[in-house]
Structure 1
């Protein structure tokens, strides 16, 4: 699930997942299965895209409809942005009126599949050449429950001008978190309002997903192999300790608003030396004329690791004809000739290695500073587990992170509470 400057708290969005179970019970009265009208199957798409993303998906819909006369996709969008899509779909399931396809964040998929109206696409999609992160994000309990829609990775973007002004060498792949914290301190200039780096500080998913690469790098995980307890209890305090050091050094800008929008504005305004972000931020950085570079995230172990937050095209069961038509559409979107258009115009990384090898992507990557770094990072990218308990684990860890960022708790105390709360949730059968 990408984190594209959400307009509202991701925690608010994730809380809506609790209603999905009830929605599944009510969804039995779903829309009538209109097999076809005049030989054409109508597919309703709620995509939630705006601006360039909307223009890109609209163009693809038009092309699909032109080349598939037996199917007509209607891309009205759903009346909400992608950040509010889970709430919209959940309400639709409860009311018995829901789309055939919706744009759903990967971290929300597992909770949504509690509804029997989410189609099982196992064996129906061509995913062999997709990056592992894309495949993992749509797989729930061993079954393919959606099609990959958008792929990203988390890397470190830095301001070359601020590095030069501080007399610091540019960061390089393989640098450590100790290197990062000391560099952030040297970049910080309170007199000029310059921060070394920043972190979202509201406890939402944007706050949390940046910590997982640090935990994975230290040998931890979100949950244990058997899924009965969390697996960040031994290393979480060390990861939070890095944030605490940044706070103590006063080199960290803590964004008080959801979505990280202020954090990015500080960077775009030339007052932040480094920011962890995804490829979606590059167009704004280029537009603002920031002289920037991109490097992989720092590491504790010396082995590169990052996170990908893929989004999905989730298909809903409004009858066999509609599921078949909707599946054909999302399969078509994932093919290289369509994927490349979505990647370049909509801001995704290539869903597959085949797309990444196309001349069009090679040209696009060569024209965009640092884009190749984000693609290369997919080789070591992991995704959050597709389990229904994840939203609650994220909420508890988010609260722990904020308590450290604000100096209200020590890393040890903060992680201890998050572990206890999360294990309590995992102890209850989903």
Structure 2
């Protein structure tokens, strides 16, 4: 399963990393400036001492911890050991330090510089800073302690920065959470009210856009439902007139027989009227409000199946299709209109999409299974079974409308299409838990 990134976590980690990198960068820059400042300060002292101290060959002089010699051979032996060759450029500080790692304080530091006096003489000024001497100095602190204190101070600073960032994020995230919860809780009633204040202008604008978009979508849905309702109501009258007149013509034909072509035309009109009547009832039912109470009425499911099969048998005219109905008398409380629409559409689809073979309808209690077998279908090429509650494309609008009705009632529903056998199972007594 793909883990989706969290915007809050991404922002938090990014800011913490950015703050830490900036803190470390500025700390290193400060340390560099501090060391360069010390180097410039010490070389300035060494140059002043060289210019104001009188030194003779073979007689170096110590002045406030600095050694001044006129020859390289007169410098301290430890300086000659650390520096392979004497400095050649005047007023350029040469420095060596001994430290275990870049994060530790140097144990020993060696300085030497070549200075030309105003009279043209050379002076070698050197200074040695040993750790043992620093530790022996009264009041000197252990460098390790200073390092630990620096790390501790840095951790405290990062903790304070993180805490401040968390507080700022909470102040920003709380209105965003409120916006999310408000948008999630919107319904037909709340969408008509003005959105609450989310503290920030950008969030208020976003809330207004969400409300405007949902209002437009809701209005479009209402217009669609009204159109379906009005159209269905208006179509029922002409359809009833068509079916009534067809029945009248059939009665008149008993007294004055029609020709074969006239009888065929009359049957076509009758079938079209029945199809339009079923589709109109389906659309009218779907346009109803979901919250509307449904009256449950007892129905004989087996008798209903036989009645619908007889009414829709005209769909099998001129087809080599047999119908096998198996079941027993069974009565249950159900929404009669919805049950009629579902059964009618499922049987209609089975009849329409079976050209050669058999349609088998099995009723066991409240469960009905419809299987249509096309003998001319290559059974060696199986098709993948469709999951439950998934629309099977290519099997008509009636099946898709039936699935919506089944989903609205929470009835059990399962479809499969394997090896040329298309199977639909619906249980009118089974209620799914939502």
- Category of TM-score, reference length = shorter chain: under 0.3
Task: Look at both structures and tell me which one has the larger radius of gyration over its CA atoms.
Answer: 2
TM-score (normalised: structure 2)? 0.20
Structure that is richer in strand per residue: 2
Higher helix share: 2
Q: TM-score, normalised by structure 1?
A: 0.20
The answer to which structure, 1 or 2, has the higher relative contact order (CA under 8 A, 6+ apart) is: 1
